[in-house]
Amino acid sequence: MLWWACYTLSKESPQLGKWYALQKTIGITFNDIALLEQALAHPSYTHEKPGTVVPNNERLEFLGDSLLNFIVAEELYRRFPGLTEGELTELRISLIRQDTLAEHALRLGLGHYLLLGKGEELTGGRERETNLADAFEALVGAIFLDQGIDAARRFVLAQFSDELKNCAGHEMKRSYKTLLQEFTQANFGQLPAYHIVEVSGPDHARRFTAEVRLGDQVLGTGCGRSKRAAEMQAARAAWECLNPGQFA
């Protein structure tokens, strides 16, 4: 029956050969290659092909996001027994950023494998940060469903190896929100204020956009899966703009 399953999939997926190449890149051979295909199917692709048997990757993205947070949180808990809950949270948020996930996706070449609608293709969808980050999360979800939590953990920790090593030297550093507050208080005599300016996405995968302002001036903007994460990214953007080259 395996040959028939492959033949059926090949008729639905002209990129069957590419999926095998991607498996070689990530070092994982899927039992159900349709999960890998789904992980790379952008919603624009399925919207333009309502009869396709390939679901879009939104559900896998939701699952992968939760898994990423769990796996990274578990690893930070094990590595840094002296950190408080707040410090661990800040480290986790700093690691699982959209730009970081997009960088991992680029290193794996996921943009090349994305299934996109024509409009998304023509407007640079293969390089779009949100698409790349979503695909990376969906890939984690697909690995988990296909091979279990241990395989997903190995994959995530391998991808985040460098970032986790860097945490060891900065684990006790202060958050960007704290640094920004101290900077604006000392230099302007004011405290920054955070505002959620946009909420998008379905209920199970909300995306928040936050601005940090000093008076009427916008110092930075950030996005995240929670209000706290979005505010942290806005504070980071503001701090790096005000203090280029300096890190928390």
What CATH code is carried by the domain that includes residue 124? Answer: 1.10.1520.10
Determine whether 65 is an active site residue: yes
Among candidates 191, 236, 237, which has minimal Cα distance to 214? 191
User: Does residue 171 surpass a pLDDT of 50?
Assistant: no
Domain that holds residue 164: 2-170
Question: One of 61, 90, 120, 137 is an active-site residue; which one?
Answer: 137
Q: How far is CA 182 from CA 20, 175, 176, 220, 233, in A?
A: 52, 11, 10, 16, 17
Determine whether 198 is an active site residue: no
Q: What are phi and psi of 194, to 5 degrees?
A: -110, 140
Q: Is 164 exposed, middle or buried (0-12, 13-18, 19+ CB in 10 A)?
A: middle
Q: For 233-248, write each residue's pLDDT tens digit.
A: 899 899 888 886 554 4
- In this prediction, residue 57 carries a pLDDT of 96
- Note whether residue 247 is domain-resident: no
Domain identity same for 154 and 225: no
Question: One of 37, 58, 61, 65 is an active-site residue; which one?
Answer: 65
Average pLDDT for 75-81: 93
Q: Are 134 and 43 spatial neighbours (Cβ–Cβ below 8 Å)?
A: no
d(CA 66, CA 140): 10
**Of 120, 149, 170, which one is at a domain's C-terminal end?**
170
Domain identity same for 39 and 142: yes
- In this prediction, residue 165 carries a pLDDT of 84
d(CA 66, CA 76): 15
Token output for 172: 């006790």
